Amino acid sequence: MNLQGKTVLITGASEGIGAACVEAFRKRGARISVVARSREKLERLAGPDGLVTAGDLTDPEVRAACVEATLDRFGSIDVLVNNAGIGLYTPSWQADIADIRHLMELNFFVPVAMAQLVVPHMAGQGGGVIVNVGSIAGKVTLPWMTIYSASKFALGSWTDGLRLELKSKGIHTITVCPGYVKTGFQDHMLGGRVPPSIRRSKKFAITAEQCAEAIVRGVEREKRTVLTPAVGWALVAVARLLPGLLDWQLYRMYRGAEASDES
């Protein structure tokens, strides 16, 4: 897809990967519509030519408002980037069920609801792209964030099915699976604490800008899956070919994290 003059709607755009996507798509000449809770942050990012909708995406009225406002302003939605999400580090057997429901609402049900709103418009204009930002944890379950992993597995599976559902309408879907990205993600968790041993691995992280660039390239090239950094494919291969070995390694990491928490 040539992004010049195309309209891109980005959720969770006030910081992190979403904010970086604003700049990356804008550089390609795209028109930008953003939605998140912080109006102040969004207005700084969107600039005078962008469209801002501030609100909680778990509210159906906010979702409808951002889609309607985008269509009113630009007349089309060519790319939807479902980026909004949240984490949970509490062990699944201890986590508050309300937190689990909220995580699934934002990480899975909101993207589905957003797609249901934009697909009729994309189909009417002859096509479009839906980008769902998942995680490497949606390819390999990470035991220190089990519920989060489950939500991203669900998102990836749905994205693959949606691609086939919408192929005849000219609508393409992409799953994005970032590894560790340098953002404030860990500061906005619903519960639990990031194990120190896991937090230290942040030195191997990519930047939000690198992730956003990979997303934009994925849209331009109509990829099915964007896994960034690409070395993450090695982890996915081990999970498929040597699952017992990966289980053992992940268990060691998890037990080490638990021990550091207890000390």
CA distance 145 to 234: 20
Q: What's the rounded mean pLDDT across residues 232-236?
A: 92
In the structure, what pLDDT confidence band is assigned to residue 16 with cuts at 50, 70 and 90? very high
Residue scoring higher pLDDT (95 or 203): 95
- Given a cut of 80, whether residue 59 has pLDDT beyond it is yes
**Residue in the structure block whose two tokens are 């930008």:** 32
Q: What's the rounded mean pLDDT across residues 194-210?
A: 75
The pLDDT of residue 203 is: 60
- Given a cut of 90, whether residue 194 has pLDDT beyond it is no
Q: What's the rounded mean pLDDT across residues 212-240?
A: 95
Distances from the Cα of 130 to the Cα of 45, 49, 52, 235, angstroms: 22, 22, 19, 26
- Given a cut of 80, whether residue 263 has pLDDT beyond it is no
Of 89, 148, 180, 254, the catalytic one is: 148
CA distance 108 to 113: 9
Q: What domains are defined for the chain?
A: 7-232 (3.40.50.720)
Q: Check if 148 is active-site.
A: yes
Q: In 3D, which of 224, 220, 209, 223 has the Cα closest to residue 78?
A: 220
